[in-house]
Amino acid sequence: MAQAYMTETGNGGSEPEPSGSRLRRRLAGLRRDRGIWRRGIVIAALAALISLVMIFHAELPNDVGNLGSLTETFLPWLGLAVPLLFAAAVVRKSATALIAILLTAGVWVNLFGSLVLDKSGSGGNLMVATHNVDADNPDPRGTAAQIARSGADVLALTELKGSAVPVYEEALAGAYKYHSVEGTVGVWSKYPLSSSAPVDIKMGWTRAMRTTVDSPYGRIAVFAAHLPSVRVKLNAGFTANQRDNSAGALGNALAAEPLKKVILLGDLNGTMNDRSLSDVTSQMRSTQGAAGDGFGFSWPAQFPMARIDQIMVRGIKPEASWTLPRTGSDHLPVAARVTVKP
C-alpha cells in the first residue's frame, strides 16, 4: 500500500510523492465523493441556528427565564461554537457544514469584529472610573486605595454597604476633595460637586443618584446607578418587571437632564446588547464600544465573561476605555478617558 504514494527514480529507488500531487489527488477524491454535500447536515443546522440567534437575538422572548436578556448578556461567546463546529465539519468532510460555519463566522465578525480591535486614542482631558465594590468586600480600604491610584478625576462606587461608607470616605479623602453618597451609590470627585440628589429607579431604596461636577471644562451631569440584575426564573415575574421599570426610570431621568454634557457610571447589570436597557442605551454612547481595547469584560472578576459595568456619555467624546486591576470585589473596575469641550 505504501508504494501507491511513491514514484520510481532512475536508480530503481523511490521518492515521496510531491505535496502538490497529493493535494490534487485528494481534491479529485473529494469531487468524486457525492456524500460531501449530504454529510454534516446536523452540524450545518447548528451553525445556522447560532447565526439566527445572533441576528435575531432581540426577538428572543423574555417571558420564560428571561431568556432574551440572558442570551444578549453573553452573546459574543456564541463565537466559540465556530471553531468547534469547524473541527467537526472537517472530520465529517462536509462541504455543507463548512459553508454554514463560514456564514456563522461572518455574522459574528459583523456584530463583534469591531470590539476586538483597539480603538483607544491618546487624547482626553478627563478620566472617569466606576466600580461595583461588592457589599461583602473583605478589604474596602484596600479597594479604595487601589482605585484612587488609578488617577481618575471622577469616580463612582456602587453596592456601598452602609457600615463601609466611612471606610471609603476616609480612604479616598486624600485623592478626592469632594464626594456625595446617596443610599448604596456614591460619587467622588477632584472637582466641586453640586445639586447632588437621589434618582428614583423604582427599587424601593436608593441605588442611583445624580450630581453636577463643576469641571474646568464646564458643568457635567454625572449619574451613578446600580440596576437590578437578570435572574433566571420560570416566568418573568417580579424580578424582570423590576429591572425593566428601573431601566425605564433611569432612561427618563437621563432624557430629562437639562445639561448637555452627561456621564453615566455604574453597574447596569447588562450589556449594550440587552434590550431591557434600551431606554438608556438609545440615548447614551458607550465608551467601550467607541474607544475600547477589546471587549472590556468586567464580571465576574476571576474570569470576566460580560461587560455589565458601563461608562456612557452624551455630548462628550470618548477617547479610551479599559478595565482596571482586580480588587477585593467580584467586579473589575472600569475606566475611561474622555474629551469635554468647554
Do 136 and 214 share a domain, yes or no? yes
Q: How far is CA 147 from CA 13, 26, 33, 144, 324, in A?
A: 73, 59, 62, 5, 8
Give the pLDDT of residue 235: 45
Closest listed residue to residue 152, CA positions, set 163, 160, 164, 144: 144
Q: Each residue of 143-199: pLDDT tens digit? A: 999 999 999 999 999 999 999 999 999 999 999 999 999 999 999 999 999 999 999
Do 220 and 79 share a domain, yes or no? no
How many Cβ atoms from other residues are within 10 Å of residue 148's Cβ?
18
Give the pLDDT of residue 152: 98
- Give the chain's mean pLDDT: 89
Do 89 and 211 share a domain, yes or no? no
181 in any annotated domain:
yes
Q: Each residue of 2-42: pLDDT tens digit? A: 444 444 444 545 556 566 666 566 555 555 566 788 889 99
Do 38 and 153 share a domain, yes or no? no
User: In angstroms, what is the C-alpha Rg of the chain?
Assistant: 26
Do 49 and 191 share a domain, yes or no? no
How many Cβ atoms from other residues are within 10 Å of residue 304's Cβ?
18
Do 150 and 44 share a domain, yes or no? no
Do 87 and 133 share a domain, yes or no? no
Task: Give the amino acid at 276.
Answer: S
Do 131 and 176 share a domain, yes or no? yes
Give percent of the chain above pLDDT 90. 76
Do 156 and 184 share a domain, yes or no? yes
Do 96 and 148 share a domain, yes or no? no
191 in any annotated domain:
yes
Residues in the chain, pLDDT under 50: 1-10, 12, 232-238
Give the pLDDT of residue 2: 44
Task: Output the CA angle 229-231-236, nearest 5 degrees.
Answer: 115
Do 232 and 151 share a domain, yes or no? yes
304 in any annotated domain:
yes
Q: What are the residues whose beta carbons fall under 8 Å from the beta carbon of 322, sequence distance 6 or more?
A: 120, 292, 293, 296, 334, 335, 336
Residue after which a domain boundary falls, among 116, 135, 167:
116
Do 151 and 90 share a domain, yes or no? no
Closest listed residue to residue 55, CA positions, set 128, 96, 132, 112: 112
Give the pLDDT of residue 26: 58
The Cα–Cα gap between 200 and 182 comes to 11
Query: DSSP of 261-278, one letter per residue?
Result: -EEEEEE-SS-TT-GGGH
The Cα–Cα gap between 263 and 223 comes to 6
3 in any annotated domain:
no
263 in any annotated domain:
yes
226 in any annotated domain:
yes
Give residue 288's domain range.
126-339
Total domains in the chain come to 2
